[in-house]
């Protein structure tokens, strides 16, 4: 059973897989709060339940929690080889469990992730039980046609480094161009000279949480 709602980090599991829920102290637990589903990268996969908190959004939140007035759901993908897309059924169970435990604002649900999680953000934004108000993939990749199918109703701000030798930055520029051509609200930040680790800069963009909160979806 999930722990009682509280500030801090709660460690939970659904089936054999683990997830964490981060609740900054500034969140009023009696009122519906904005929420982010955060998808980690390949290197944070596993079954320990905590490695997904070491980098990316959770780390940025710990450093500057006042900039991130969100409840964050951070599931852990069990293996490096598996894709987030293959975890759809389990992720829906996680979302349902968190929704039963915490007061969440259904109009302010967001999705973000880095590398494999950036790819997961591109592919899952329109394929989970929740309807997301905005998405923020970081150093991800996806076929442009699939991006349009998944994100056709989801404003998207994507980030990448142009010196990324793990995932070429065209993995972001191509789907964002397709989304823009399809009339989707988009933003794109390409960091000059930055390699695969564009997440440290992306999640420390002071405008990113503000941009997310500008978007609501009924």
Tokens 């503000």 appear where?
210
Which one, of 93, 100, 157, 103, lies nearest residue 125 by Cα? 157
pLDDT > 70 fraction of the chain, expressed in percent and rounded = 100
pLDDT at residue 135 in the model: 98
Least confident of 19-33, 110-124, 183-197: 19-33
pLDDT at residue 86 in the model: 96
pLDDT at residue 33 in the model: 97
Report how far residue 151's alpha carbon sits from residue 125's, in angstroms, rounded to the nearest whole number: 6
| Tokens at 126, concatenated | 């329109």
Report how far residue 37's alpha carbon sits from residue 113's, in angstroms, rounded to the nearest whole number: 8
- How high does pLDDT run on average in the chain? 96
Domain boundaries, the chain: 8-213
Interacting residues of 14 by C-beta distance below 8 A, sequence separation 6+: 90, 93, 94, 97
Tens digit of each residue's pLDDT (9 = 90 or more) over 147-172:
999 999 999 999 999 999 999 999 99
Report how far residue 196's alpha carbon sits from residue 161's, in angstroms, rounded to the nearest whole number: 6
Residue 1 pLDDT grade (very low, low, confident, very high; cuts 50, 70, 90)? low
CB 50 within 8 A of CB 21: no
Whether the per-residue pLDDT at 3 is higher than 80: the answer is no
Going from the C-alpha of 14 to that of each of 33, 95, 105, the distances in angstroms are 22, 10, 22
The beta strands (E) that lie in the chain are given as 8-14, 17-23, 33-39, 71-75, 104-114, 134-138, 156-161, 186-191
pLDDT at residue 6 in the model: 87
pLDDT at residue 2 in the model: 77
User: Taking the domain 8-213, which CATH number applies?
Assistant: 3.40.50.1820
Report how far residue 140's alpha carbon sits from residue 169's, in angstroms, rounded to the nearest whole number: 8
pLDDT at residue 190 in the model: 98
Predicted model pTM: 0.96
Query: How many CA within 13 A on the CB side of residue 184?
Result: 26
Tens digit of each residue's pLDDT (9 = 90 or more) over 18-73:
999 999 998 999 999 999 999 999 999 999 999 999 999 999 998 888 899 999 99
């Amino acid at each position: 059973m999930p722990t009682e709602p509280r500030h801090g980090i709660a460690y939970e599991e659904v089936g054999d897989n683990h997830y964490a829920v981060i609740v900054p102290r500034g969140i009023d637990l009696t009122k519906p709060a904005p929420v982010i589903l955060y998808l980690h990268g390949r290197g944070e996969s596993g079954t320990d339940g905590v490695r997904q908190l070491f980098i990316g959004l959770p780390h940025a939140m710990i450093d500057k929690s006042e900039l991130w007035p969100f409840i964050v759901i951070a599931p852990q993908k069990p293996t490096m080889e598996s894709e987030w897309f293959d975890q759809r059924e389990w992720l829906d169970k996680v979302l349902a469990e968190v929704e039963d435990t915490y007061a969440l604002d259904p109009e302010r649900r967001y999705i973000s992730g880095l590398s494999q999680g950036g790819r997961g953000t591109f592919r899952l934004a329109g394929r989970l039980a929740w309807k997301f108000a905005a998405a923020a993939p970081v150093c991800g990749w996806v076929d442009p046609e699939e991006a349009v199918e998944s994100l056709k109703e989801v404003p998207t701000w994507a980030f990448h480094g142009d010196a990324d030798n793990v995932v070429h930055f065209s993995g972001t520029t191509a789907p964002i161009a397709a989304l823009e051509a399809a009339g989707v609200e988009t933003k794109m930040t390409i960091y000059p000279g930055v390699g695969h680790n564009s997440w440290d800069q992306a999640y420390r963009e002071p405008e990113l949480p503000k941009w997310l909160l500008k978007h609501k979806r009924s």
